[in-house]
Every structure is written in structure tokens, then in C-alpha cells.
């Protein structure tokens, strides 16, 4: 008990030092951080900002997108390179139809491993391939924010509806981003790869609405469940007033967390899978995917020249994503979350001691 009290006292003392370094000791006295503090802050930013971009963008968006479109059943037979065996075939006077075939009974999927995806991207366009589509993603984010603000500013239009309308307006940008991620490098700029608006809107409108509904439901679930379970709420208008939680707050909070995670797993991610696969079906025929991708979606997609739509419906996009693909995707997401947690833990383990040392080295500011 004495050790616990001593530890609690040291934590409180350290918190007081941090408070005084920034806002003073409550009596008008301020502490000033050492002069090298800004150098440390800038160095941390230069080191960790690219890491956060890689974690949030590459692992969080590019890797799952590739997993959502990879074909788990590529052709089992692969013809041997004709240039490699032409001489031996000619010497043996073997018929063309009898040339050897390479058989791959257990195909190894690229998106079953983080390392395989990294090697695939690196072999595609070097280390920069890990950030493919980033300019388009930035413009997409700005366009979504601007159009969302415009629609939400219209009278009687709720903010959530404004988000939906914005998502429908920028369907070309979001689809172009998917095409850039899954296809081989192109000399065209992202704005030159925008698909036709009418066809893209017709193909992706339903998946976009479904994804919007799933994300909105998941966002509001914690508030609704907390009200239903009788959990006390913290009022942002009175931040100094802390609600009093009862002993049952722990298991009620756990229920909220479990339900929200389940909504992410069974609603948001499946909706995202359907949307990405529909967008991928709009990939132009002159663009080559960087991994195994069944453009026909098991024969569901018919080209316009034979009277088809030229893209997969949302129902077929769902039906053609096999059980093995779902398992592979969720495993990949679990690995990504583990990497993100490890990186964030490492960053905290580096930044917090730095900050504590700088606070200890701070000196009182002379107010005279």
C-alpha cells in the first residue's frame, strides 16, 4: 500500500510539473521550456509524420483495398514461357498442344501477408508505390469536405445528409482513386483518369448509400446505447463538471464497445468491400491490375458491346466475395491494427520521456 501511495504521489507531482510548465502554478508564475525544445519538436515531427502517413494511408487504405479485389482462385494452369522452352520443344518435335504446363495447386495470395503486399508495391514502382494515389486522395478529401460543407449549409439539410450528397457528387474522384491503387502505374494524371460521371454514379450510388448508412449508424451507436443503458454523459458545455459513474458503468461501457466493434466488422467493412469491388469493375480495359483480379466477377459482368452494363452490381459484388476472402481480409485488418498499435506505443514511449525531461529542465519565467 505504501508503494502504491508513493507511486501515486510521484505521478501527481509529475502532472503538476507539466501543468506548471505550460500554464503556471496558479499564482501567476510561468515556467519556460529549454531552448532546445523546439528542435526536439521539429525533429519528432520530421521523423514521425511520414510514419503516420504510412500507417494511416498506406496500411489503412491501400492494403485493404487490394485485399478487397484480389481473386482467390486464379487459373491453376500457367503456360511455360515459350522463349524458355522453344529450343527443347523443337528438338523433341513435340506438338504445340503437348508443351509442358506449370501447375500451381495452392496459389499464394498476395494480400494474405503484409510483406507480400509491400514487395508487390515495391516491385511495381519502388518505395513511392506505397503512397500511390496520394495526390488524388488529398483532392478527394478536400472535395468531400468542401461539398459537404456546402450541402450542410443548405437550410433544412442535416449534416449527415450533406455528407451523403457530397459522397455522391465526388463519385468520379473516389472511383479514380481505387483505379490508381489497384492498377499499374500510368503516365496520366489522376484528373485525366476520371471515369464518366453518369456511368459511375449509376454503378456506385447504391453502395455509397449503404456505406453512408453503415458509418452513420456506427457513429451514433455509442450515444444511443449509452442513453438506453443509463450511462451518465459528460456535457461538453460544462467541461469542468465530471459525471458520477456507478459500479455498473464498466460492464455497460463494455457492451457499448462490443456493439460498436461488431457494427464496424459486420456493417461498415462489408459495405466498404461492396463499394470498392463495384468501383474496381469500372476499371478501363486498357489498364492492367497489379494483382490477380477477375474483371468478369465469375461471369457476372457483361461488356456493353453485348448489351451488358459493363460493371458489376452491388449484389454480385457481394456474392462473388468468397468466405475465404472475408477471412483473409479480416486477418489482414487484424495485422494492420497490431502494427498500428505497436507503432503508436513506440511513439508514445519516445515522446513522453522527452517531454518529461524538458519539463524537468524548464525554468521559472521572471515576471519582473
152, 147, 154: which is closest to 174 by C-alpha? Answer: 147
Question: Is residue 38 domain-resident?
Answer: yes
Q: Note the pLDDT of residue 6.
A: 44
Question: Is residue 85 domain-resident?
Answer: no
Query: Domain range for residue 123?
Result: 19-72+109-364
Question: Is residue 121 domain-resident?
Answer: yes
101-103 and 363-364 strand pairing: unpaired
User: What DSSP line would sit under 237-286, residue for residue?
Assistant: TSTT------TTHHHHHHHHHHHHHHHIIIIIHHHHHHHHHHHHHT--TT
Q: Note the pLDDT of residue 125.
A: 86
> Can you tell me the mean pLDDT for 265-278?
97
Q: How far apart are CA 217 and CA 226, in angstroms?
A: 14
Choose between 362 and 240: higher pLDDT: 362
327, 288, 291: which is closest to 70 by C-alpha? Answer: 291
Which pairs count as long-range contacts for 101-110, CB under 8 Å and 24+ apart, including other chains?
101/77, 102/77, 102/78, 103/76, 103/77, 103/78, 104/74, 104/76, 104/77, 104/78, 105/76, 107/72, 107/73, 107/74, 107/76, 107/292, 109/70, 109/72, 109/292, 109/328, 110/66, 110/70, 110/291, 110/292
Question: Is residue 170 domain-resident?
Answer: yes
> Can you tell me the mean pLDDT for 304-323?
87
Q: Note the pLDDT of residue 41.
A: 87
Q: Note the pLDDT of residue 368.
A: 53
In terms of average pLDDT, the best of 13-27, 37-51, 302-316 is 37-51
Number of residues that this document lists for the chain: 368
Q: Note the pLDDT of residue 90.
A: 42
pLDDT tens, residue by residue, 332-368: 999 999 999 999 999 999 988 888 888 787 777 665 5
Question: Is residue 86 domain-resident?
Answer: no
Question: Is residue 82 domain-resident?
Answer: no
CA distances, 56 to each of 198, 224, 290 (Å):
31, 28, 22
pLDDT tens, residue by residue, 163-207: 999 999 999 999 999 999 999 999 999 999 999 999 999 999 999
Question: Is residue 9 domain-resident?
Answer: no
Overall number of domains in the chain: 1
Give, in degrees to the nearest 5, the angle at Cα 295 between 325 and 166. 80
Choose between 229 and 293: higher pLDDT: 293
| pTM of structure | 0.79
Q: Which of 10-14, 129-133, 334-338 has the lowest mean pLDDT?
A: 10-14
Read off the pLDDT band of 235 (50, 70, 90): low
Q: For residue 83, what are the contacts with CB-CB under 8 A and spacing of at least 6? A: none
> Can you tell me the mean pLDDT for 52-60?
95
Question: Is residue 6 domain-resident?
Answer: no
Amino acid at each position: 500500500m505504501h508503494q502504491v501511495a508513493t507511486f501515486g504521489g510521484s505521478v501527481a507531482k509529475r502532472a503538476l510539473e507539466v501543468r506548471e510548465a505550460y500554464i503556471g502554478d496558479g499564482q501567476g508564475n510561468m515556467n519556460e521550456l529549454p531552448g532546445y525544445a523546439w528542435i526536439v519538436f521539429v525533429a519528432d515531427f520530421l521523423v514521425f509524420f511520414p510514419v503516420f502517413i504510412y500507417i494511416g494511408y498506406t496500411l489503412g487504405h491501400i492494403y485493404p483495398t487490394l485485399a478487397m479485389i484480389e481473386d482467390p482462385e486464379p487459373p491453376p494452369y500457367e503456360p511455360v514461357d515459350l522463349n524458355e522452352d522453344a529450343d527443347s520443344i523443337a528438338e523433341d518435335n513435340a506438338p504445340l498442344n503437348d508443351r509442358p504446363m506449370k501447375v500451381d495447386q495452392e496459389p499464394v495470395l498476395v494480400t494474405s501477408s503484409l510483406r507480400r503486399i509491400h514487395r508487390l508495391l515495391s516491385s511495381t514502382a519502388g518505395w513511392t508505390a506505397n503512397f500511390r494515389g496520394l495526390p488524388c486522395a488529398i483532392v478527394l478529401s478536400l472535395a468531400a469536405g468542401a461539398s459537404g460543407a456546402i450541402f450542410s449549409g443548405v437550410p433544412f439539410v442535416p449534416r449527415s445528409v450533406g455528407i451523403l450528397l457530397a459522397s455522391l457528387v465526388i463519385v468520379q474522384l473516389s472511383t479514380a482513386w481505387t483505379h490508381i491503387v489497384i492498377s499499374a502505374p500510368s503516365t496520366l494524371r489522376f484528373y485525366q483518369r476520371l471515369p464518366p460521371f453518369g456511368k459511375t454514379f449509376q454503378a456506385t450510388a447504391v453502395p455509397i448509400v449503404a456505406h453512408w448508412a453503415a458509418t452513420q449508424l456506427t457513429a451514433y451507436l455509442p450515444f444511443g446505447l449509452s442513453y438506453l443503458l443509463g450511462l451518465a454523459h459528460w456535457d461538453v458545455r460544462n467541461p469542468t463538471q465530471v459525471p458520477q459513474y456507478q459500479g455498473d458503468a464498466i460492464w455497460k461501457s463494455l457492451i457499448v464497445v462490443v456493439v460498436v466493434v461488431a457494427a464496424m466488422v459486420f456493417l461498415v467493412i462489408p459495405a466498404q468491400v461492396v463499394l470498392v469491388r463495384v468501383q474496381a469493375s469500372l476499371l478501363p480495359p486498357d489498364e492492367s491490375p497489379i494483382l490477380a483480379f477477375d474483371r468478369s466477377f465469375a461471369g457476372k459482368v457483361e461488356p456493353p458491346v453485348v448489351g451488358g452494363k459493363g460493371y458489376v452490381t452491388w449484389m454480385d459484388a457481394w456474392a462473388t466475395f468468397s468466405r475465404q476472402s472475408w477471412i483473409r481480409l479480416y486477418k489482414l485488418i487484424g495485422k494492420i491494427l497490431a502494427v498500428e498499435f505497436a507503432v503508436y506505443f513506440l511513439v508514445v514511449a519516445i515522446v513522453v520521456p522527452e517531454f518529461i525531461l524538458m519539463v524537468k529542465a524548464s525554468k521559472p519565467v521572471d515576471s519582473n
